[in-house]
Amino acid sequence: MVIYFTINSLSISAVLFPKTIQHRTDMETSTPTFDQLPHVVSGLSEKLDRVLDLLEKAGIASHSKQSKPSRRLVYAKEACQIIGKSLSTLYRAVKAPNDPIPSYKRGKLLYFYEDEIYAWIEGGRKHSAAPSLAETAAAITAGMKRRPRGGYNF
């Protein structure tokens, strides 16, 4: 089955081969005026709906909205392979007080969602650019209890 579509400036042609279904519609070849735009847009919308119906009947496109990708549930061993750490390190990272790995526990088993693991890994990304002088100075002075008598010498 071959589907052939051409969309010219204001004409849409759809032919479905090898079946005998043929549909061809041409709009005016002249340039529409501003007052004709609502009529032209509604005509294009109707034709687009017909094209989508033909694609849906042919099994190429679905008329429904794109669905949310399904989340894949993984067990602890597969999560270890994803992050590249041992099982004991994974359990420690789940219990970590700062930035724990998102996990779910039912009974004795620990579950993870693959997309959440990748988001956790991405969240730990370090900045590739070197910090500026102002950022470095702020980091140094943040750890000081009081300002030195001579002032900061940056």
Please tell me what DSSP assigns to residue 59.
Answer: T
Note whether residue 109 is domain-resident. Answer: yes
Same domain, 49 and 8: yes
Q: Domain limits at 95? A: 73-123
To the question of pTM greater than 0.75 for the whole model, the response is no
Same domain (yes/no): 53, 88: no
59 Rama class: left (phi>0) / alpha (psi -120 to 50) / beta: left
Tell me the C-alpha distance between 147 and 103, whole Å. Answer: 44
Q: Is residue 131 part of a domain?
A: no
Per-residue model confidence as pLDDT tens digits over 37-95: 888 888 888 998 898 888 888 877 665 555 455 689 999 999 999 999 999 999 999 99
Q: Count how many domains the chain has.
A: 2
**pLDDT at site 127:** 63
Q: Are residues 77 and 54 in the same domain?
A: no
